[in-house]
Amino acid sequence: MSKFLVQLSDTHIRVPGALAYGRVDTAGFLARAVAQVRALPQPDAVIVTGDLTDFGRAEEYAHLRSLLAPLTCPVYLMPGNHDDRAQLRLAFAEHRYLRQGAAGDSDPIQYAVDLGGLRLVAADSVVPRATHGALDEPRLAQLERLLAASPGTPTILAMHHPPFRTGIDQMDEIVLLEGAEALAELVARYPSIERIICGHLHRSIQARFAHTIAMTAPSTAHQVQLDLTSQTEPAFVMEPPGYLIHAWSEDGRVVTHQAAIGTFAGRIRFPRTVHWTSKSARPRSRGREPNSCGALSDA
Ligand SMILES: [Fe+2]
């Protein structure tokens, strides 16, 4: 039986009635995401990997609170470059993990929580008033202490800025620009890190990082345009929003799924010509086989 950590990201909530960039109803998108998560088998926890609000204002965090309220499982928050640590802590005062190891309201938000067979460790990559990310010496040292507290437990490390370049040039100017090499050395000392899960890119992207898999989540609202040619201006597109489900089993292995948010055609049963074997659990088609592009052709 697997357990589930749902990752929402880049919710960019504004005050009620306001649209992000004058066009995106981020609150409506988050409300639909929350409704979809509620329809899942009960997740063990939800994490929102930064850019919780658009401007880090108290009213925006109050709006976020109301939108997340229907979730009945534990919810963990962390800041992105659009957030304000002090306002986040004030708005979610009962989220005590937000103050782990912090002396002041504006100190970095780094914490570790036990999800039952899996640790969630959050690193704060935010540089106040900047768009790019960084992990300085004090934060890396605190992160090492968090990891060293339970080095053998399967761990998901969460941070807003991805520590890898994506190939989307305009976004690569604002990823984790400082501390990535030191982070890689740190991560290499902890083979129990199963994933590094990030936001910021508003797309699903995966890359190897040290021994592990680093990945970014889609936004619950708008997505960054996929441009690997550097020929267009930075832009967002209204591709289907989504979220990630990180499932782990008793042996600590983590499998990640991406889910789209919205209403789509289906559930449509496979035709009788497709046979499922109990041994392999793989579909076997009679008569027609998919070609290398996935299109059906006569076999
Ligand atoms: Fe964002």
Ordered by start, the domain boundaries in the chain are: 3-260, 271-299
Distance in Å, CA 175 to ligand 1 centroid:
11
At residue 279, the pLDDT reads 58
In the reported structure, the alpha carbon of residue 49 is separated from the centroid of ligand 1 by a whole-number distance in angstroms of: 9
CA of 3 to the centre of ligand 1 (A): 27
Confidence (pLDDT) at 290: 40
* CATH class entry, domain 3-260: alpha beta
222 alpha carbon to ligand 1 midpoint, in Å? 9
| The pLDDT value given to residue 275 | 72
pLDDT for the residue 288: 40
Model pLDDT, residue 293: 41
Q: What is the pLDDT of residue 294?
A: 36
pLDDT of residue 278: 61
Separation of 178 CA from ligand 1 center, angstroms?
19
Measured in Å, residue 10 CA sits from the centre of ligand 1 at 4
Could you tell me the distance, in angstroms and rounded to a whole number, from the CA of residue 11 to the centre of ligand 1? 7
CA of 54 to the centre of ligand 1 (A): 8
pLDDT score of 33: 98
Q: Which of 219, 236, 217, 218 is nearest to 227 (CA)?
A: 236
Distance 83 CA to ligand 1 centre (A): 10
Q: Which residues contact 37 (CB under 8 A, 6 or more apart)?
A: 6, 8, 43, 46, 71, 243
The CA 258 to ligand 1 mean position distance, Å, reads: 18
Q: 236 alpha carbon to ligand 1 midpoint, in Å? A: 11
Report CA(18)–ligand 1 centroid distance (Å).
16
Give the distance (Å) from ligand 1 centre to CA of residue 221.
Answer: 9
What pLDDT does residue 291 have? 36
Average confidence (pLDDT) per 10 residues, the chain, 299 residues? 94 97 97 97 95 98 98 97 98 97 96 97 97 98 98 97 96 96 98 98 98 98 94 92 96 95 92 70 46 37
CA of 280 to the centre of ligand 1 (A): 40
Measured in Å, residue 12 CA sits from the centre of ligand 1 at 7
Measured in Å, residue 161 CA sits from the centre of ligand 1 at: 10
Q: Ligand 1 centroid to 238 CA: how many Å?
A: 14
Q: What is the mean pLDDT of the chain?
A: 92
Q: How many Å lie between the centroid of ligand 1 and the Cα of residue 234?
A: 13
pLDDT number for residue 252: 87
pTM of the predicted model as reported, rounded to 2 decimal places:
0.91
Written as one string, the DSSP assignment of the chain is: --EEEEEE----B-STT--BTTTB-HHHHHHHHHHHHHTSS--SEEEEES--BSS--HHHHHHHHHHHTT--S-EEEE--TT--HHHHHHHTTT-GGGGTT-SSTTS---EEEE-SSSEEEE---B-TT-SSEE--HHHHHHHHHHHHTSTTS-EEEE-SS-SS--S-HHHHTTSEEESHHHHHHHHHT-TTEEEEEE-SSSS-EEEEETTEEEEEPPPSS-EE---SSS-S---EE-PPPEEEEEEE-TT--EEEEEEE-S--S---PPPTTEEE-TTT--EEESSEEE-TTS-EEE-
